[in-house]
Structure 1
Amino acid sequence: MFEHFTRHTLNVNGIPIHFVQGGTGFPLLLLHGYPQTHVMWHKIAPSLAQKFTVIAPDLRGYGDSYKPKDAPDHSNYSKRVVAADLVNLMALLGKKEFYLIGHDRGARVAHRLTLDYPKKVKKLGLLDIIPTYDVFHLADQELSTVYYHWFFLIQPYPFPETLIGSNPHYYLEHCLKSWGRDFTAFTPEALAEYHRCFQDPMMIHGTCSDYRAAATIDLEHDQLERDKKIECPLLILWGKQGFLEKKYNVLELWQQRAINVTGKAINCGHFLAEESPVDTEQAIYGFLE
């Protein structure tokens, strides 16, 4: 995976952040989701690297990046702090401006990053999410059934960590199978990496902390800036076979949060870049070019 990419770890914002980098051209930052790592981009990153300098990090709390113990107010896992990690990483690499594509949790970080650093992000792509504020405020029985993990993972430490840690292999594959529509889309190499990282109790803790922050301090930040809109062009992609397509008018929700929004459904489940890499890559290419 990631042939012709190089691996690095840099001290960023006070913690080590691991990432891969490859290609030449305008910088493109790729942010992964839960319960994955930067490896989720392995099918499309090499092609994107033919025209862009692709940088794909592990978010704090994930993969081979540092996983600090959660603060009492979850502030060290807030999307604002994680966004600052990535802006500082790009600055260390000499990238003052960049394109930004995020999936799932990485898309939530990307949303916050673009609001906090509007001059940094020239174009933004968000994969298979609606705004975090809307998830909580539009929640009903149907959403709570599908997004059960949102409410499980935010329970106080160490309850979810203990249950997940009793069988992380089963839990990880349950997530991938229940949110995706084609488990065979996850290559043996990618699965091995996801399992390796999820065996680390601190990654389980870090990922729970990510969700705890989303339900507390992130909501506070979102509430204060509900009227602040994304200024750069925004691409929204979501799985046609997934929950969002069935439940929401995804574009309409994002049109309330951004000035210039385009997007469409991709024929797959939640994991677009692995379940439908060709269509996902083409949509990203068309948007960025």
Structure 2
Amino acid sequence: MFDGFERVRVDTGEATINAVHSGTGPPVLLLHGFPQTSAMWHQVAPALAQRYTVVAADLRGYGDSSRPPSGDDHAAYSFRAMAADQVALMRSLGHERFAVIGHDRGARVTHRMALDAPEAVTRLAVLDILPTLHVYSHVDRRLATAYYHWFFYIQPYDVPERLIAGDPIGYLHTVLGRFGGRVDAFAPEAVAEYERVFADPDARHAMMEDYRAGASIDLEHDRADVGRRVEAPLLAMWGTRGVVGRGPDNPVAVWREHATDVTGVGLDAGHYLVEERPEETVAALERFMEG
């Protein structure tokens, strides 16, 4: 995967971020979600690199990025901390201003980055999410059933860690096969990469800390920013067979409560639309980037 890309590791002060980069043209940062790594972009990044300078990074705690220790407030794994890592990474590569495309947890980092570092983000795409505060404010039985992991992972250390340790790879496959998708939609080499990382207990703990932060300090940050809107152009993308696409909320309408310039597109896919529909994903992203 990522033939022709250069791999770098950048010390951001609090974490060391692993990334690959290639291409020429306007810079674009790609951020993955749970339970994945930057490998999720292995089909999209080379296509985008024909027209853009593409950077695909592992979030702190994920992939081959470092796993900082977390305190009781889980701040080390807040979206604010993760966003700051990625801004530092891009600056170290010479990119002061850049577009950001994020999926799942990476999309939540992208949203926070656009609020915390608006001078850096030229435009952003958030793939298959609604804003974190909106999700927690609109929980019903349907959503709690679909997003059960949001409430499982936030249980005190080390309850979810011990339970998942019973069969981590089996559990990983269950997660990849949920949300309107199926495991065989993923390239074998990408699944092998996810399995390699998920087999590491420290990585799994870092992922749980990400969700614990999402239900605590991240909500504090979001509540403090109620009324603020992202000013950069925002593209909302979703899988029409996933939780977001089949839910009661119109994703574009929700995002227009949080950003001033919003467009949206749904793809015939589940949650993992990037790997299920790579060509359609590239086409939609390029249309947005050229807009």
Structure 2: state its 5+ residue gaps: none
Instruction: Report if aligned partners of 1:30, 1:101 keep a CA contact under 8 Å in 2.
Output: yes
Report the Cα offset of residue 18 of structure 1.
Answer: 0.6
Partner of residue 238, structure 2: 238
Relative to structure 2, which stretch is displaced further, 244-253 or 102-111? Answer: 244-253
Q: Distance in 2 between matches of 1:227 and 1:22?
A: 37
Q: Distance in 2 between matches of 1:191 and 1:246?
A: 26
Q: Distance in 2 between matches of 1:199 and 1:72?
A: 25
Instruction: Report if aligned partners of 1:13, 1:84 keep a CA contact under 8 Å in 2.
Output: no
Q: Distance in 1 between matches of 2:150 and 2:7?
A: 31
Matched letter for residue 113 of structure 2: L
Cα distance per residue 1:14-71 (max 9 Å; x no partner): 3211111111111100000000000000011100000111101100010100012221
Instruction: Report if aligned partners of 1:5, 1:20 keep a CA contact under 8 Å in 2.
Output: yes
Partner of residue 209, structure 2: 209
Partner of residue 90, structure 1: 90
**TM-score normalised over the length of structure 1:** 0.98
Q: Distance in 2 between matches of 1:102 and 1:237?
A: 10
Partner of residue 24, structure 2: 24
Report the Cα offset of residue 77 of structure 1.
Answer: 0.7
Partner of residue 45, structure 2: 45
Q: Which runs of 4+ in 1 moved over 3 A?
A: none
Q: Distance in 2 between matches of 1:17 and 1:190?
A: 19
Q: Distance in 1 between matches of 2:69 and 2:14?
A: 14
Relative to structure 2, which stretch is displaced further, 125-134 or 171-180? Answer: 171-180
Instruction: Report if aligned partners of 2:242, 2:271 keep a CA contact under 8 Å in 1.
Output: yes
Partner of residue 274, structure 1: 275
Report the Cα offset of residue 180 of structure 1.
Answer: 4.2
Partner of residue 261, structure 1: 262
Relative to structure 2, which stretch is displaced further, 244-253 or 99-108? Answer: 244-253
Matched letter for residue 8 of structure 1: V
Matched letter for residue 117 of structure 1: A
> Does 1:151 pair with 2:158?
no
Q: Distance in 1 between matches of 2:52 and 2:136?
A: 36
Matched letter for residue 4 of structure 2: H
Partner of residue 224, structure 2: 224
Aligned length: 289
Q: Distance in 2 between matches of 1:263 and 1:99?
A: 16
**TM-score normalised over the length of structure 2:** 0.98
Partner of residue 5, structure 2: 5
Aligned residue runs from structure 1 range 144-183, under 5 A: 144-183=144-183
Matched letter for residue 9 of structure 1: R
Q: Distance in 2 between matches of 1:232 and 1:213?
A: 25
Report the Cα offset of residue 269 of structure 1.
Answer: 0.2
Partner of residue 68, structure 1: 68
Q: Distance in 1 between matches of 2:36 and 2:49?
A: 21
Report the Cα offset of residue 193 of structure 1.
Answer: 0.3
Q: Distance in 2 between matches of 1:271 and 1:79?
A: 20
Instruction: Report if aligned partners of 1:29, 1:99 keep a CA contact under 8 Å in 2.
Output: yes
Q: Distance in 2 between matches of 1:273 and 1:66?
A: 25
Partner of residue 104, structure 2: 104
Partner of residue 185, structure 1: 185
Q: Distance in 2 between matches of 1:170 and 1:180?
A: 18
Identity of aligned residues (%): 49
Matched letter for residue 259 of structure 2: A
Q: Distance in 2 between matches of 1:45 and 1:228?
A: 31
Q: Distance in 1 between matches of 2:173 and 2:149?
A: 14
